[in-house]
Amino acid sequence: MESVTIQFDKESSIPMYIQLSKHIGMLIKEGKYNENEKLPTIRKLAASINVNNVTVVNAYKNLERKGYIKSMVGSGYYVTYKEHDVITTSEEEDDSFLEYDNINLMSKGQLKVCKNTINFASANPDPSQFPVEDFKRAINEVLDRDKGLAFGYQESKGYKPLRSSFTQFLKKYMDVEVAPEDLQIVSGAQQGIDIISKALINPEDYVITENPTYTGALSVFKGRGANIIGVDVNIRGINLSDLERKIVTYNPKLIYVMTKFQNPTTISYSQDTLEKLLDLANKYNVYIVEDDSLSGLNYMQEDNKINLKALDKNNKVIYVKSFSKLLMPGLRIGFIAYPPEMQEQIIKAKHSTDISSSGLIQRAMQLYLDNGNLEKHVEFMKKIFKKKYDCMNTELKALRKYGVNFIAPRGGLHFWIKLPKGVNALELYSRCSQRDVLIVPCNIFYVNPLGAANNTIRLSFAAVDEEGIIKGLNILKKELIYLLKCDNEYSEVHEEATLSPMI
């Protein structure tokens, strides 16, 4: 048997445990280990390659999930690998994990979710609650009315009556006044961010984001070759003094924020922060992208519902609206409300991206909106979400005695949890996923995931019913208590864990 020697790439966004897992996987594939051969113990390997025990534990678990190795009770890990046809497919899983939210991974089919999985990682509503019948009616009405035109090329900017409906929606719910000419229909908010980036960002430009932030946005900005600068968020929103300092230093092309129920921190900006943020945008003449997928899902009656865009007198805000959470993610329809001077760049970017969004879905969406169906549906979903929100809130409060810390959000679909000292989020994630409970460790949301503390997780209640919330959080509690016990003398306990993983 060969000893493991590995050169870690510390600059890489791929965490060490994945790098190690890949490296060992490669050795096994190349036949450097024989079938049924015992792997080095965790402690021994960790010492020999100078990493934390946790790194080796996670690497081994990763290899076990992929069927390369197997843990034998009381004995350690053994090679099981014979021949995999599609090693690249399975290799890919964990790499992508670092790039995107779990939510998105779900959609890629790369996190295996079985029937009994309690999925706190997904922020997607239960498809059985989608308004399929209403939408089906709208689609059929469009097809009977417009026939072939519903399948012809559409204006790149979007179907005009839908743009008009969206301006009315903005006016009614958000007190935002925008002309239909200044709206661009997009195939979902992800495409909105991509198009804005194509229009505004050149390689080596600077972009400022909240830190942590939505991984899908980070991925787009990186893809454009931008340098991303993160700014912390606090209870009132983005840290304004740090932001100003960084605007002055980096002269960014844009600032990307989520002002309502920020992802993943669940923070909503105070009105004061919104106003001061706009002052900075005006002072330094920089655009702000306001990504809004959750406003409307407020659970507190008295809440301030003002968005940044509503306060934007000088056309500094590019507002991106998603309906994936409010309505259905598979629609792939959202919009951008942009400053008028940006029209040409935005249309060009949309056009070279995919020419236009589906005309059929745009037309059906317009009927659906104009019939008042969206309003009805959001009210319906809010009642469901509020119950689940209350349930999760109650359960999580009961975990405070173990050192778990969180601020109950005022709406949205997530809770953001700070774990007690000594409990590693990646490890909690790994243990929970083995018991079919999925959570999101929040280091992936940071501009620099490797530099981020591994002590926060995000739990979503969108895809889990109340029974599941109680059951899932009970499992999480047990794993948490187990990891708390392991703390201080982690490595010894952990080696024994293969003997009796349950407590």
Site for a second copy, residues 192 to 211, rule: CB under 8 A: 194, 198, 202-203
User: Is the link from the previous residue into 212 a cis peptide, with omega within 30 of 0?
Assistant: yes
Q: Return the range that interacts with a second copy (CB under 8 A); candidates 85-93, 242-250, 287-295, 448-456.
A: 85-93
Window 110-129: residues binding a second copy (CB under 8 A): 124, 126-129
Establish how many alpha carbons lie within 13 A of residue 297's alpha carbon, considering only the half-sphere containing its beta carbon.
31
Q: What is the C-alpha separation between 430 and 424, in angstroms, rounded?
A: 10
Residue 151 lies near a second copy (rule: CB under 8 A): yes
Residue 8 lies near a second copy (rule: CB under 8 A): no
Residue 184 to residues 162, 180, 187, 253, 325, Cα–Cα distance (Å): 10, 8, 10, 20, 20
CB nearer a second copy, residue 253 or residue 494: 253
CB of 206 to a second copy, least distance (A): 16
**Two tokens, residue 351:** 């056009």
Residue 436 lies near a second copy (rule: CB under 8 A): no
CB nearer a second copy, residue 107 or residue 491: 107
Q: Return the range that interacts with a second copy (CB under 8 A); candidates 131-139, 410-418, 441-449, 493-501.
A: 131-139
Residue linked to tokens 């960790």: 46
Query: Buried (b) or exposed (e) across 50-82, using 16+ Cβ within 10 A?
Result: ebebbbbbbbbbbbbbbebbebeeeebbebebe
Q: What is the C-alpha separation between 415 and 233, in angstroms, rounded?
A: 15
Residue linked to tokens 């909105």: 192
Residue 360 lies near a second copy (rule: CB under 8 A): yes
CB of 380 to a second copy, least distance (A): 14
CB 4 within 8 A of CB 45: yes
Pairing of strands 456-460, 440-441: antiparallel
The number of residues that bind a second copy (CB under 8 A) is 75
Window 221-260: residues binding a second copy (CB under 8 A): 223, 225
Window 32-51: residues binding a second copy (CB under 8 A): none
Residue 139 lies near a second copy (rule: CB under 8 A): yes
Q: Return the range that interacts with a second copy (CB under 8 A); candidates 76-84, 347-355, 399-407, 445-453.
A: 347-355
Q: What is the C-alpha separation between 206 and 440, in angstroms, rounded?
A: 28
Window 153-192: residues binding a second copy (CB under 8 A): 153-157, 181, 187-188, 190-191
Residue 431 lies near a second copy (rule: CB under 8 A): no
* Listed residue (477, 324, 460, 479) closest to 395, CA to CA: 477
CB of 126 to a second copy, least distance (A): 8
Pairing of strands 254-257, 206-211: parallel
Applying CB under 8 A, among 1, 132, 248, 503 the residue interacting with a second copy is 132
Residue 90 lies near a second copy (rule: CB under 8 A): no
